[in-house]
């Protein structure tokens, strides 16, 4: 992503609160580089395909917030996306 920060180690501990954007499935790596003892929340699609992702990240202590977007009208509400 143009303008994104490349950080490692302790650099994240100075950014609180923070929003970190990751591509699909990369959130499973979060426990490896995010400082321990800090709350982490990941947005995961409400689709059935994403259920396994949500279960896995919760096993690592990451809270899963289910949401979806990109659809118009009633489909958006049915999938639980922003209104």
Calpha distance 55→62 (Å, rounded): 10
- Whether residue 3 is contained in a domain is answered as no
How many domains, in total, are found in the chain? 1
| Nearest of 33, 34, 43, 48 to residue 69 by alpha carbon | 43
The pLDDT of 7-35, averaged and rounded, is: 70
- Residue 2 forms part of a structural domain: no
Is the pLDDT assigned to residue 71 strictly greater than 70?
Answer: no
* pLDDT band for position 83 (cuts 50, 70, 90): very low
Q: Is residue 29 part of a domain?
A: yes
pTM confidence score: 0.56
Q: By the 8 A CB rule, do 26 and 17 touch?
A: no
Question: Average pLDDT of the chain?
Answer: 72
**Tens-place pLDDT, residues 23-33:** 776 777 777 77
Q: Helix count (H) and strand count (E) of the chain?
A: 3, 2
CA distance 56 to 45: 14
Q: State which residues form the domain around 47.
A: 9-79
């Amino acid at each position: 992503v143009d303008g994104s920060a490349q950080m490692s180690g302790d650099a994240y501990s100075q950014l609180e609160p923070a929003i970190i954007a990751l591509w699909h499935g990369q959130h499973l790596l979060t426990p490896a580089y995010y400082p321990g003892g800090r709350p982490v929340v990941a947005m995961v699609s409400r689709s059935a395909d994403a259920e396994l992702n949500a279960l896995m990240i919760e096993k690592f202590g990451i809270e899963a917030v289910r949401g979806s977007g990109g659809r118009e009208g009633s489909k958006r509400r049915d999938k639980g996306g922003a209104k």
